[in-house]
């Protein structure tokens, strides 16, 4: 039986509003998802009942806040099947997590070393490596994945004995393509490279098992998986986190400080300078609980159904170019020749349909596709088939209105 | 010399936009207005004439004869061409001093174009306004 998202709608009251006198159709979930009541309640409860700084005051509130905070680490570790909760480092989001690794590994890089990424990366998993290459004299190389993400045997040549870091997205934010992670990670590991997976677009949809993935680092953001903004996670294997130089220093991350020397704290605290985003951590744990309480496979199948439905309706229209895979995507990214995506977006917006038009922080990928940007409708578990159809209907209306006769 | 605003009179443009009662009506009015904007030639659409800070590409050419300013503009986005027709109708044929004394943001808001002035989507329009008021 098909999954019915109507049971989830009441958990997301923001969705039942009007946008310019039309029912809001929120299809910008790859940018950020809406948050269920349980996440909002957890944050509210924390401030109403438990608010105190963590890991310091020996008093009732601080103990409770610290317990909730560390329990959240445990929840997230469990959520991605990390072996130890000390392998979970709190960050502002996936971007900070990747920067933390890029700065933390700098001391290990030499001129001529290679950093390998793929052609499908978000700027967040490109610019930190490019800048690291500039600083160290390392060379940034780009595995030329096609927009379909297929593996080609000749790609193995990109993994060399100079490859020190391999960083790849699990799913392209711009076009929804799933990358051939397994084989890429195998090649990277054969060369002894550190491996990082950008999971920002995957966590909301796919059950994540970092032990099966077997990457050194896994980065993701809370706000794209029904959690709050401003919180994210860097998971790392113990040895990988241990070699990272802390890229921020200060309170909380130290064990002993004199004016002349500092002894750093143990993991995970060594990499968490300053008072953390406590409400974010607690909200993120609630988001993990929300997802874990669902039948994840049923949610994913539903999201695929919505994207496949939109694909099948729109690909028949001769003047629409779709860049997303036909199957197993959770978004549809497209453009229409001779019509500006901002014009399409403006009409969709005027009808209450929220999507994203732009380059999706992936300029090199847009260049590879030969477009300035795309229009992206991205789905979450709470989206309905009516919403998928409304997007198609309104888009076709927009094309009609904007076509030059 | 052709009038850079086509046949439309500023007063008509104002009336058309002010009559819009919804986002959809404004959208349709801008699409209609966009058709009145004479397009620039490829030679005119050069980097020097491009306005930085727009999501869509916008080109603006300013000339001055007998102390008054004339404008030609284009964009790759249709709605932006409609917005350009509206903006240029406010400033066409005026002196720089007069243009500099105008509150363009308020005048555009009165044309139901306030949502094109928010920082997220109309950095572009704000950039155009400040370009128009520059020497």
- Counting runs of H as helices and runs of E as strands, what totals does chain A give? 12, 17
- CATH numbers and ranges of domains, chain B: 14-133 (3.90.1010.10)
Q: Which residue has the tokens 């966009």?
A: B34
Q: Are A263 and A254 a contacting pair, CB within 8 Å?
A: yes
The answer, for A339 touching chain B at a CB cutoff of 8 Å, is yes
pLDDT of residue A48: 98
Q: A343 vs B78: CB contact, 8 Å cut-off?
A: yes
pLDDT of residue B1: 38
Q: Residues A103-125: pLDDT tens digits?
A: 999 999 999 999 999 999 999 99
Q: Are A216 and A240 a contacting pair, CB within 8 Å?
A: yes
Chain B interface with A: residues with Cβ < 8 Å? 22-24, 26-28, 31, 55-56, 76-80, 121
Of B22, B27, B76, the CB nearest to A346: B27
The residue among A19, A335, A338, A346 with the most chain B CBs within 10 A of its CB, best to mutate, is A346
Q: A340 vs B78: CB contact, 8 Å cut-off?
A: yes
Of B24, B31, B55, the CB nearest to A402: B31
Q: Which CATH class is domain A39-293?
A: alpha beta
Per-residue pLDDT at B2 exceeds 50: no
**Of the candidates B119, B49, B52, B107, the residue with the CA atom closest to the CA atom of residue B83:** B107
Number of Cα atoms under 13 Å in the Cβ half of residue A60:
2
**Of the candidates A229, A284, A272, A271, the residue with the CA atom closest to the CA atom of residue A78:** A284
Question: Chain centroid to CA A116: how far?
Answer: 19
Residue B54: active-site member: yes
Count CB atoms within 10 A of the CB of residue A48: 9
Fold observed for domain A5-31+295-404: 3.90.1150
Q: Are A199 and A219 a contacting pair, CB within 8 Å?
A: yes
pLDDT of residue B118: 60
Q: Check A215, A288, A361, A381 and give the catalytic one.
A: A361
Per-residue pLDDT at B8 exceeds 70: no
Q: CA of A302, closest CA in chain B: separation in Å?
A: 31
Q: Enumerate residue ranges in chain A where pLDDT < 70.
A: 1, 405
pLDDT of residue A57: 75
Q: Residues A168-206: pLDDT tens digits?
A: 999 999 999 999 999 999 999 999 999 999 999 999 999
Question: What ipTM does the predicted assembly reach?
Answer: 0.88
pLDDT of residue B101: 95
Q: What percent of chain B has a predicted confidence (pLDDT) above 90? A: 65
Per-residue pLDDT at B4 exceeds 90: no
pTM of the model: 0.94
pLDDT of residue A405: 61
Q: How far apart are CA B111 and CA B107, in angstroms?
A: 7
The answer, for A358 touching chain B at a CB cutoff of 8 Å, is yes
Domain(s) of CATH 3.40.640.10: residues in chain A = 39-293
Q: Residues B70-127: pLDDT tens digits?
A: 999 999 999 999 999 999 999 999 999 999 999 998 999 999 888 776 655 556 788 8
Domain(s) of CATH 3.90.1150.10: residues in chain A = 5-31+295-404
């Amino acid at each position: 039986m098909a999954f019915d998202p109507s049971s989830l709608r009441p958990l997301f009251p923001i969705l039942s509003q009007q946008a310019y006198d039309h029912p809001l159709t929120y299809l910008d979930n790859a940018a950020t998802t809406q948050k269920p009541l349980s996440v909002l309640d957890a944050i509210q409860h924390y401030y109403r009942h438990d608010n105190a700084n963590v890991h310091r005051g020996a008093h009732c509130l601080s103990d409770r806040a610290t317990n909730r905070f560390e329990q959240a680490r445990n929840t997230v570790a469990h959520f991605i099947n990390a072996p130890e909760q000390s392998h979970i480092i709190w960050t502002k989001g996936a971007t900070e997590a990747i920067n933390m690794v890029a700065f933390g590994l700098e001391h290990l890089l030499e001129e001529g070393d290679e950093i390998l990424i793929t052609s499908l990366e978000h700027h967040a998993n490109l610019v930190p490596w490019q800048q690291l290459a500039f600083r160290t004299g390392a060379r940034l190389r780009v595995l030329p994945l096609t927009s379909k993400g297929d593996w080609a045997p000749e790609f193995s040549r990109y993994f060399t004995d100079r490859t020190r870091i391999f960083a790849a997205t699990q799913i392209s934010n711009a076009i929804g393509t799933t990358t051939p992670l397994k084989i890429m990670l195998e090649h990277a590991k054969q060369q002894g490279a550190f491996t990082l997976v950008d999971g920002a677009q995957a966590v909301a949809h796919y059950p994540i098992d970092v032990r099966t993935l077997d990457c050194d680092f896994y980065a993701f953001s809370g706000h794209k998986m029904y959690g709050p903004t401003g919180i994210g996670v860097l998971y790392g294997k113990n040895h990988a986190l241990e070699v990272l130089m802390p890229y921020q220093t200060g309170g909380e991350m130290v064990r002993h400080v004199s004016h002349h020397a500092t002894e750093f704290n143990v993991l995970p605290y060594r990499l968490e300078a300053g008072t953390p985003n406590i409400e974010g951590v607690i909200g993120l744990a609630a988001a993990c609980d929300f997802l874990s309480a669902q039948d994840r496979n049923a949610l994913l199948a539903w999201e695929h159904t919505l994207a496949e439905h939109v694909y099948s309706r729109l690909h028949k229209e001769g003047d629409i170019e779709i860049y997303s895979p036909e199957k197993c995507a959770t978004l549809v990214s497209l453009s229409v020749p001779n019509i500006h995506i901002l014009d399409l977006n403006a009409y969709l917006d005027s009808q209450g349909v929220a999507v994203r038009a732009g380059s999706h922080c992936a300029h090199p990928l847009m260049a590879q596709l030969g477009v300035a940007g795309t229009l992206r409708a991205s789905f979450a578990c709470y989206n309905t088939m009516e919403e998928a159809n409304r997007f198609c209907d309104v888009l076709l209306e927009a094309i009609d209105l904007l076509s030059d006769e | 010399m052709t009038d850079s605003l086509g046949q439309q009179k500023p007063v008509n443009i104002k009336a058309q936009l002010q009559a819009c009662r919804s986002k959809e009506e404004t959208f349709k009015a801008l699409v209609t207005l966009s058709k009145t904007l004479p397009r620039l030639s490829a030679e005119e659409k050069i980097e020097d004439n491009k306005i930085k800070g727009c999501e869509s590409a916008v080109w603006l050419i300013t000339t001055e004869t007998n102390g008054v300013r004339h404008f030609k503009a284009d964009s790759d986005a249709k709605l932006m061409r409609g917005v350009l027709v509206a903006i240029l109708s406010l400033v066409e044929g005026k002196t720089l001093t007069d243009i500099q004394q105008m509150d363009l943001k308020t005048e555009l808001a009165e044309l139901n174009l306030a949502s094109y002035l928010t920082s997220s989507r109309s950095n572009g329009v704000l950039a155009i306004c400040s370009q128009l008021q520059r020497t």
